[in-house]
A = this chain, B = another copy of it.
Amino acid sequence: MKVLITGGAGFLGQRLARQLLARGRLNDGAGRPRAITELVLVDVVPAPGPDDTRVRVVTGDIADGALMRGILDRDTSAVFHLAAIVSSQAEADFELGMRINLDASRLLLEICRELGHRPRVVFTSSVAVYGGELPDLVLDSTARNPQSSYGAQKAIAELLLNDYTRRGMVDGRVLRLPTISVRPGLPNKAASSFASGIIREPLNGVAAVCPVSPDLRLWLLSPRRATEALIAGHELAAETLGANRAVNLPGLSVSVGDMVAALERAAGRAAVARIRYEPDPAVERIVRGWPAAWDASRALELGFEADADFDAIVRAYMEDDLAPGGRVRD
């Protein structure tokens, strides 16, 4: 069977690709384990890897119907739709966010529907679908009231995926991800980019800017757990999920101050000294609007796992992603 990852050049797409290739198989639309014969990585920039004969790299615009119809076929039983215009960028460029986060998501569902074989579609959503006046603990039954265009577009794509699933056009699964930390690579245009940068940059001997107050609480998940969750979310039987296809994944509720303290425990005071606080009210407004925690009991019952603590997240980054040349302590 064929597997498609949109956003395949991104850090999560790349990590998922490696895990899928190592695993070698996935359940097909009917829930039967099948060998992965082809793994298509589509993104606006060429996916750098993995180096494997099963991998096919496609570079282009996922809102382009001709491109996408050339990639998806009746053998494509698994789609991981990770591509997105991230929060601050979708706020700055409304058209681009609408085109990728909404139109491309709808196109993907339409093509699956045309093909008619009901592929499993795993779609990543976000804390950003919540906002406004929130309870201390967000529940599955809490209204989505996004306060950013990114959040609105993700909430809309969730509704589409749920309706296409209800109608039997796809077998969709929405995984609402906590903020991912520690994301490897360079800063990006997500409002939450700092949530990785304030750990990653100091560990690599580089200065980091923190645009929010130390008391701000974030709801965090490591790349390791996020990748596991994508695969586990795909493998779940449709009956187990039932009518509600959105799962709020487990996270850790950690303040920025707690994160910095964990950095100090892992890499000393010199690392912490590389963080400069430069308040950015626009970033603070967006991120403070997201839930600092949600009830993940359904996800835990379904077998999804959280990280043990933020120290474990820092360690995982150092094991998985710290470049051999990266320095931890001066």
Where the two chains meet, the residues of A that have a C-beta atom closer than 8 Å to any C-beta of B are: 94, 132-133, 135, 140-147, 149, 152, 155-156, 159-160, 162-163, 166-167, 243-244
Contact = CB atoms under 8 A, between A and B. Distances in A.
- A-B pairs, top 3 by smallest CB distance, nearest first, are A152-B163, A152-B159, A156-B156
A132 B243 contact: yes
Nearest to A154: B159
B143 A144 contact: yes
A163 to B, nearest CB: 4
A144 B141 contact: no
Given A145-B244, A146-B159, 19 more contacts: A132-B243, A132-B244, A135-B141, A140-B143, A141-B143, A142-B143, A143-B143, A143-B144, A144-B144, A144-B159, A145-B162, A146-B163, A149-B167, A152-B160, A152-B162, A152-B163, A155-B159, A156-B156, A156-B159
A146 B155 CA distance: 13
Contacts of A160: 152, 156
Contacts of A132: 243-244
A122 to B, nearest CB: 19
23 contacts: A94-B167, A132-B243, A133-B141, A140-B143, A141-B142, A142-B143, A143-B144, A144-B144, A144-B159, A145-B162, A145-B244, A146-B159, A146-B162, A147-B166, A147-B243, A149-B163, A152-B159, A152-B162, A152-B163, A156-B156, A156-B159, A156-B160, A159-B159
A162 B156 CA distance: 12
A186 to B, nearest CB: 28
Contacts of A143: 140-144
A293 B139 CA distance: 21
A163 B152 CA distance: 7
Nearest to A149: B163
Contacts of A149: 163, 167
Contacts of A133: 141
A15 to B, nearest CB: 30
Contacts of A141: 133, 135, 142-143
A93 to B, nearest CB: 12
A147 B166 CA distance: 8
Contacts of A167: 94, 149
A89 B175 CA distance: 31
Nearest to A166: B147
